Chain A
Amino acid sequence: MGMTMTQKILAAHAGLPEVKAGQLIEAKLDMVLGNDITSPVAINEFEKCGACHVFDNQRIALVLDHFVPNKDIKAAEQCRQTRNFAGKYDIKHFYDVGRMGIEHALLPEQGIVGPGDCIIGADSHTCTYGALGAFSTGVGSTDMAAGMITGKAWFKVPSAIKVTLTGKPTGFVSGKDVILHLIGEIGVDGALYQSLEFTGDGVAALSMDDRLCIANMAIEAGAKNGIFPVDDVTRAYCKDRFTRTPVEYTADEDAEYTREVVINLSKLRPTVSFPHLPENTRTIDEIGPKEVKIDQAVIGSCTNGRMEDLRAAASILKGRKVADGVRCIVIPGTQQIYLQAMKEGLIETFITAGAVVSTPTCGPCLGGYMGVLGKGERAISTTNRNFVGRMGHVESEVYLSSPAVAAASAVTGYITDPAAI
């Protein structure tokens, strides 16, 4: 029986000629990631068990991104603890304020992760790097601590769902609409314990920013990972970034899949997830023009804080104004994206339109700071979760969408089709 792409990467990192779904293996790790929320818990565990060295100071990435610049004293202490640990063990990929970005925008951009890698991160959206043809999955802090000590992690080899993409997206349809559509189809546990393996002619029509967005939200379908084949788009993206040697894996012809989902990209419409689960999707055509009034629009996050996202939002906001009564918050994913957006005049477009632009942070996505919602308030957001209380008050609501839909909605004050303004 052949192997899926994920299974091949896991076999190679376990030193085995082949692996099967359900098999428990121990795999070598190319990168171990943590942030300012999860690293302190991992560091406590690391120290509690008496560890006095990390397996490789070049293969650990510590990114302060959730509550920085420090939102309060407790957040400051968590950053201080992580910063001290990074200094003590001479962690090469430590990113502090001024150099940091949102981790899943930053690591691909900086070439810290690449094709063929096996990566764990103490952040559920670590699955983002599957866009590059890597096996990458979110874990908890204890797994992160063990990974930092041993350079290894245990995995149950996942079975797979084949997601065949055909056609090309049209109009304002982006990677976000593809993944929201898929989650709407299979549900928030539709891929539980499994890998989502994207394939088909449609892949070539998706940019790297689209793919990163799609892989990012694999976890919202319960998946262990999402993964894309390596093609010219991947190679072009990794060129001059990824300094290690990329390894390209392809799924065997006779690889086994538990099911196949076919998505014709040309048929997709801008899609919105209604509260309080990402699977509660509706196309923009199923939402009345004045049906959902919003108080806030958030454009950013590890899902949609990249260059193409900011360009899409700016193309809508240029020459227009954010509606009265709406707060529009734009958050570039990294310092480099921020700088590029400035060079392209996007920041001026946002500010002129009446939006605010923040330094990179996860802040509002998880109701941390920089855009927390009050009782009964509604946000349209390009983030990845709309659970109860996710962005603030337990009676607030989050609607997930692409940057184009979020920007159009900011202009009208209601969830709006970008093609309609």
Chain B
Amino acid sequence: MKAHGTVHKYGDNIDTDVIIPARYLNTSSHSELASHCMEDIDKDFVNRVKPGDIMVADKNFGCGSSREHAPIAIKASGISCVIASTFARIFYRNAINIGLPILECPQAAKAIQAGDEVEVDFDTGVITDCTTGQTFSAEPFPPFIQHIIQKGGLLASIEK
């Protein structure tokens, strides 16, 4: 499986309140959540984002609230993959559980710039910045987590 898209770049400690502000948590509609994604730090994100685009950020991405609405909003906005130096642990679980691909790769997170064209190969963990020609290797998921991803999320993985 591969992802290919334009990069939307953010900094450290992108919290779930800016990914999807709590004032919109009175709905669980994926499309409605997506329409407010990143609104408080990047008002234009929802207008710029195209299906398949890639989000890149630095450390502790997704810190704060446990709201699954955050990875849902990102996924439903069309983002195909999030690359960060590190993820906050609840966001990390949630992304895996709902089938939003995420990769930890500090080198890629630092080097890749907004607007770059990036390709991600999920089978090998190789991230290619097509704009600069640089390649990076992300940490592979442990087999247990790969199993959840292959099954299409946590609930699918526990179904008999």
Contacts and interface: CB of A to CB of B under 8 A. Distances in A.
A66 B26 CA distance: 10
Nearest to B88: A222
A387 B15 CA distance: 7
A388 interface: yes
B90 to A, nearest CB: 5
A139 B22 contact: no
Interface string B35-72: 00000110000000000000000011001111111011
Interface stretch (B2-10, B110-118, B152-160): B152-160
Contacts of B86: 189, 192
A73 to B, nearest CB: 8
B21 interface: yes
Contacts of B89: 192-193, 222, 224
Interface string A157-198: 000000000000000000000000000000011001100000
A143 to B, nearest CB: 6
Interface string A131-159: 00000001111110110011000100000
B12 to A, nearest CB: 8
A277 B63 CA distance: 11
B68 A141 contact: yes
Given A142-B98, A366-B65, A387-B15, A37 B90 contact: no
A237 B7 CA distance: 52
A126 B145 CA distance: 23
Among B66, B97, B159, max chain A CB count under 10 A is at B66
A142 B94 contact: yes
A122 interface: yes
A37 B142 CA distance: 31
B90 A139 contact: yes
Interface in B94-142: 94, 97-98, 142
A226 interface: no
A246 B40 CA distance: 44
B40 A388 contact: yes
B66 A142 contact: no
B17 A388 contact: yes
Given A24-B142, A368-B23, 7 more contacts: A37-B69, A44-B28, A72-B26, A142-B154, A150-B158, A219-B90, A366-B17
23 contacts: A41-B72, A45-B155, A48-B155, A67-B25, A71-B26, A75-B26, A123-B66, A138-B90, A140-B67, A142-B154, A143-B93, A188-B60, A193-B89, A219-B90, A222-B60, A366-B17, A366-B65, A372-B23, A385-B64, A387-B17, A387-B64, A388-B15, A388-B18
